[in-house]
Amino acid sequence: GKVLVSGANGFIAVWVVQDLLKAGYSVRGTVRSEAKAKHLHKLFGSYGDKFECVIVSDITKPGAFDEAVKGIDAIEHTASPFHFNAEDPNELIEPAVKGTVGILESALKNAPDLKRVVVLSSCAAISNPTDSGILDEKNWNEDNIKEIEEKGKDATAVAKYRASKTLAEKAAWEFVKTHKHEIRWDLVTLCPPFVYGPTIHEVASADELNTSVKDFYLAIFKHVKTPEQVATIQGSWVDVRDVSQGHLRAIQKEEAGGHRFILTSGNWSWQDWYDVVNGLKIPGVAAPTGTPGAGKSVQHKQVYSTKAAQTVLGMTFMDKETCAKDTIVSLKERFGA
Ligand code: NDP
């Protein structure tokens, strides 16, 4: 079969493309410009005509994906902005929502053989940082949408991003509901929290890294987190290679259709990562010391359940040592310590 991967040059997407090709699928990636296709052609040149790239310069334009979806059996939609620099929330919400609805509209028109659409959503669409307890796929982050409605530009940067992901995922499920009598495909959404792991996408300098890996790089290599941040910041994480396995299985497993899946290895605090990294004793790499062991007594407010991903997708998730080691080796090779 042939799979369309939108935003194919992104941190996560390049791994998704690679795993699809390895599994024997043909892949058509979309990127915003010719220049962004170059690195991909180099990376996947050995797959010959099993890999191709098409340009979709503006995913918010109606019909943007009309050509790209032709002849496609499955879609992995990953293109969406992930950064915390938006002033106007629409800088994030427009491409997130219009990109998602747009690719589905094009599919409805031009992809008669389509069987499955996978939308890369986020744990940002499951909960907002103040929610607590064990969270699963039934949870939705309504609060950040409300925050944007009430505060607009004055909402927090995190709320703007989180609202964009929630609104985009909701729009995808809504589209399926509205068009259920016209479509022969079903929808799967994947919800990872912070994604770390080795980078194989094109990155000009450490400064240009994608948001999640850059944060890791700055914390571990540049020691930017204050003691207060180390004591208070916590979250959940997953390795990019597990996220890409999730994408592969999401199109392979018939029974995945119609479901959302949280993909995570579990919780972290910066102290946990410091201890893991320092324990690896990689020459030339020293994370801050902090208070070794203190991460163990952090009470994690939110714990995401991965029961669905384990049961339906058969997922297992990587440990911190493996992820940290491979992330650091990759960062050190590319950008120095
Ligand atoms: P990247 O920034 O590396 O990838 C983002 C991709 O989306 C790129 O291909 C980028 O293209 C494209 N994109 C961004 N903005 C636009 C836009 N306005 N119009 C068209 N394309 C756009 O980050 P990730 O790989 O981490 O992110 C990929 C997806 O994963 C996003 O949907 C993100 O929300 C989601 N996600 C990421 C997490 C993480 O921790 N990394 C956690 C949970 C979800 P270009 O290079 O041309 O800008």
- Contact predicate 308/249, CB 8 Å: no
The pLDDT value recorded for residue 239 is 99
Q: How far, in Å, is the centroid of ligand 1 from the Cα of 79?
A: 5
Q: How far, in Å, is the centroid of ligand 1 from the Cα of 178?
A: 27
Of the candidates 116, 105, 30, 111, the one whose C-alpha atom is nearest the C-alpha of residue 72 is 111
User: Binning pLDDT at 50, 70 and 90, where does residue 74 land?
Assistant: very high
User: Which residues line the pocket of ligand 1, CB cutoff 6 A?
Assistant: 7, 9-13, 32, 36, 59, 78-82, 95, 120, 122, 165, 192, 194-195, 210, 212
- Contact predicate 90/129, CB 8 Å: no
What's the rounded mean pLDDT across residues 273-279?
98
User: Binning pLDDT at 50, 70 and 90, where does residue 297 land?
Assistant: confident
Using most ligand atoms within 8 A of CB, pick from 80, 162, 263 the residue to mutate for ligand 1.
80
What's the rounded mean pLDDT across residues 60-89?
98
- CA–CA distance, 36 with 32 (Å, rounded to integer): 7
The pLDDT value recorded for residue 88 is 97
User: Binning pLDDT at 50, 70 and 90, where does residue 246 land?
Assistant: very high
In this structure, the number of other CB atoms found within 10 A of the CB of residue 59 comes to 23
What's the rounded mean pLDDT across residues 265-283?
97
The pLDDT value recorded for residue 83 is 96
Using most ligand atoms within 8 A of CB, pick from 12, 36, 199, 268 the residue to mutate for ligand 1.
12
Residue 118, C-beta contacts closer than 8 angstroms, at least 6 positions apart: 74, 75, 76, 77, 187, 188, 189, 190, 247, 250, 251
Residue 239 is which amino acid? D
Sign of the alpha-carbon dihedral angle for 102, 105, 109, 110: positive
* Residue 194 vs residues 161, 197, 212, 335: alpha-carbon distances, Å: 13, 10, 6, 21
What's the rounded mean pLDDT across residues 264-268?
97
Q: What is the pLDDT of residues 146-155, one digit of tens each?
A: 999 999 999 9
For the question of an ipTM over 0.95, the answer is: yes
Share of the chain above pLDDT 70, in %: 100
User: Binning pLDDT at 50, 70 and 90, where does residue 298 land?
Assistant: confident
In this structure, the number of other CB atoms found within 10 A of the CB of residue 51 comes to 23
C-alpha triplet 112, 252, 53: angle, nearest 5°? 60
Examine the pLDDT at 337 and tell me if it is beyond 80: no
What's the rounded mean pLDDT across residues 60-84?
98
User: Binning pLDDT at 50, 70 and 90, where does residue 17 land?
Assistant: very high
The CATH class of the 2-197+237-264+303-317 domain is alpha beta
Examine the pLDDT at 189 and tell me if it is beyond 80: yes
Q: How far, in Å, is the centroid of ligand 1 from the Cα of 292?
A: 34
User: Binning pLDDT at 50, 70 and 90, where does residue 68 land?
Assistant: very high
* Residue 48 vs residues 4, 10, 74: alpha-carbon distances, Å: 16, 21, 20
Examine the pLDDT at 201 and tell me if it is beyond 90: yes
Sign of the alpha-carbon dihedral angle for 323, 324, 327, 333: negative
Helix axes of 90-110 and 157-178: crossing angle, nearest 10 degrees: 20
The pLDDT value recorded for residue 129 is 86
Helices (H), 111-253: 143-151, 157-178, 211-221, 227-232, 240-252
Q: What is the pLDDT of residues 117-134, one digit of tens each?
A: 999 999 999 999 889 999
pTM of the model: 0.98
Which amino acid residue places its CA nearest to atom 18 of ligand 1? 95
Q: What is the pLDDT of residues 149-177, one digit of tens each?
A: 999 999 999 999 999 999 999 999 999 99
- Contact predicate 285/223, CB 8 Å: no
What's the rounded mean pLDDT across residues 77-91?
97
| Tokens 């994608």 -> residue | 210
Which amino acid residue places its CA nearest to atom 1 of ligand 1? 10
- Classify strands 234-239 and 260-262 as parallel, antiparallel or unpaired: unpaired
In this structure, the number of other CB atoms found within 10 A of the CB of residue 164 comes to 29
What's the rounded mean pLDDT across residues 22-38?
98
